[in-house]
Amino acid sequence: MKSYEVGQFATHAVKHRTLDVHKLREDFPILRQHINGKPLVYLDNAATSQKPKIVIERLRRFYAEQNANIHRGLYQLSEIATEAYERARVTVQQFIGAASSKEIIFTRGATEAINLVAQTFGRQRLSAGDEVLVTYLEHHSNIVPWQLLCEEKGAILRAVPINDAGELLLTDYERLLNQRTRMLAITHVSNALGTINPLKFIIELAKRQNIPVLVDGAQGVPHLPVNVSDLACDFYVFSGHKLFGPTGTGVLYGKADLLEGMPPYQGGGDMILSVSFEKTIFNHLPYKFEAGTPNIAGVIGLATAISYIEGIGLEQISAHEQELLTYATGRLGEIKGLRLIGTARDKAAVLSFTLAGIHPHDIGTVLDQEGIAIRAGHHCAQPIMQHFGIPASARASLAFYNTKEEVDALVAGLYKVITLFR
């Protein structure tokens, strides 16, 4: 069995042109406001991202000028709305490198997309004694659906452990893959630590044993270029609201042959070809999985957000965020008593930390008085907290519109926290 060196799969760094961040910030109206009399410093992007004017305006224009239900109407407004909605599907397909737009299913978010796969594809595959493999880095949304299914089927949920840098123990991962493994569900980027998993290597090992792979990309697509065809994953999911798009939107990518063999997740309008009391014939892909009236405006807004991000360039975004991460890591390292949780060599711009003797909730409360928005808690990743022996952490998560000046504001705020509580 091979041993793997920490960081040997770190490959995301790129050459880039410098972003004009201050100009880009003008695209985000919310960043101009004050909170508690202080300029807003928004550092909770792993929870949700802010929305550019172009997305906000697209939502307004849809409701003001194009609002109609899709796929059903023979009138012009319906045709306009349908065209925009289906054009959004192509935008997503091209954004993540899927082979066909019929492999793109719109959902309410990554959570619903994972549940869809678990309750259809997973339910078909799992029997008593089988195993589903996840990792200690997962968000609860990529643990609980599989846990529920395993409990129902008498299957076993296993988790790949991590080291104290917050990186997967790849030798343990290889050992856990076996003939009983029916599914691997793994995050692309940890929401709590920022760890970037070496997906190509991980997926390649799973494929050697014909194990299907679902990737939770909610934290991946806002920060890294993604090509699902190149990754060779079977499913990839993400949420629109973390990608500078509207809330209540999400995407499930699935290989067409797998989606064809999966039963519908929900029944209702638009996912059928015909209905009688004797038999229902279901619609073709992708509509088989899109029951009822979808979030039409939200999906169109998501496509607008993707086009906006592509105009900036994900490689440039990633490089700027890496520069910010390096700067912020250095600045936080100056603070006595601060413990950085998660120090993976390959990570996104997420900084989880604790301050000795001060509860993370108190950190978050004091920083809010300074206009600084961070997250404090377990980040829906309690197994990670358990590994590090803490109940919670404070988390600052950065996006391309954040600046070194905002990092400095965070550090100044943390010194104020220390002054108040020590």
Structure tokens at 241: 């609201």
- Measured in degrees and rounded to the nearest 5, phi and psi for residue 285 equal -65, 145
Residues 291 and 269: beta-carbon distance below 8 Å: yes
Burial class (CB in 10 A: 0-12, 13-18, 19+), 31: middle
**Contact in structure between 230 and 97 (CB atoms under 8 Å):** yes
Q: Is residue 150 annotated as part of the catalytic site, yes or no? A: no
Q: Structure tokens of 201?
A: 């290597």
Question: Residue 389 has what DSSP assignment?
Answer: T
316-to-121, 209, 227 alpha-carbon distances in Å: 36, 36, 17
**Do the beta carbons of residue 335 and residue 187 sit within 8 Å?**
no
Residue carrying the six token digits 């040997």: 8
Name the catalytic one among 256, 340, 380, 390.
Answer: 380
Rounded Cα–Cα distance for residues 304 and 334 (Å): 40
Q: Are 72 and 271 in contact (CB under 8 A)?
A: no
Nearest residue to 398 (alpha-carbon basis) of 287, 317, 336, 337: 317
Q: In angstroms, rounded to a whole number, what is the distance separating the alpha carbons of residues 189 and 197?
A: 6
- Which residues are annotated as catalytic? 380
